[in-house]
């Protein structure tokens, strides 16, 4: 089974509107972290936001927030007030376990297009 599932291959949103990108995950480890990255057409991977499995509050970073629903194993990214520069590929990723330097498993990504 896939550890990270992103069911939306592509999403369209108008400038200044909010958009939610879906991510569900699968793990039996009680300790894990969830990450969102943005990849513009230039190819670099930009870290956006992090949610730990024991965090009580949903993470927020500027216009990005993470809607963490632990029982449903979902970690959706919400982008408020979309901008043209938000057009990019977005990846959800997970780190399992408490090991400090364990790697990340990535989902297949969602392409977001923001129109004027």
Partner 1 sequence: SAVISQKPSRDICQRGTSLTIQCQVDSQVTMMFWYRQQPGQSLTLIATANQGSEATYESGFVIDKFPISRPNLTFSTLTVSNMSPEDSSIYLCSVADRPNSPLHFGNGTRLTVT
**Among positions 25, 68, 90, 91, the unique one binding partner 1 when judged by CB under 8 A:** 91
Q: Based on CB atoms, which residue is closest to partner 1, 5 or 67?
A: 5
Considering the rule CB under 8 A, would residue 103 count as an interface residue with partner 1?
A: yes
State in angstroms the smallest separation of the CB of 25 from partner 1.
14
Site for partner 1 in 31-60 (CB under 8 A): 33, 35, 37, 42-45, 47, 50
Q: Which residues of 30-46 are buried (b: 16+ CB within 10 A; e: fewer)?
A: eebbbbbbbeeeeeeee
Asked if 8 and 75 count as a contact pair (C-beta separation under 8 A), the reply is no
93 to each of 38, 54, 83, 103, 115, how far by Cα in Å?
Answer: 11, 17, 23, 10, 26
Residues that bind partner 1 (CB under 8 A): 33, 35, 37, 42-45, 47, 50, 91, 95, 98, 100-101, 103-104, 106-109
């Amino acid at each position: 089974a896939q550890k990270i599932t992103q069911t939306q291959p592509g999403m369209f949103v108008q400038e200044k509107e909010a958009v939610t990108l879906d991510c569900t995950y699968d793990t039996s480890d009680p300790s894990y972290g969830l990450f969102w990255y943005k990849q513009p057409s230039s190819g670099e991977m930009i870290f956006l936001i992090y949610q730990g499995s024991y965090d009580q509050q949903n993470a927020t970073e500027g216009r990005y927030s993470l809607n963490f629903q632990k029982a449903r194993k979902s970690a959706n990214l919400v982008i408020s007030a979309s901008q043209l520069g938000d057009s990019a590929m977005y990846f959800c990723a997970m780190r399992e376990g408490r090991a400090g330097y364990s790697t990340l498993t990535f989902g297949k990504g969602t392409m977001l297009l923001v129109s004027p």
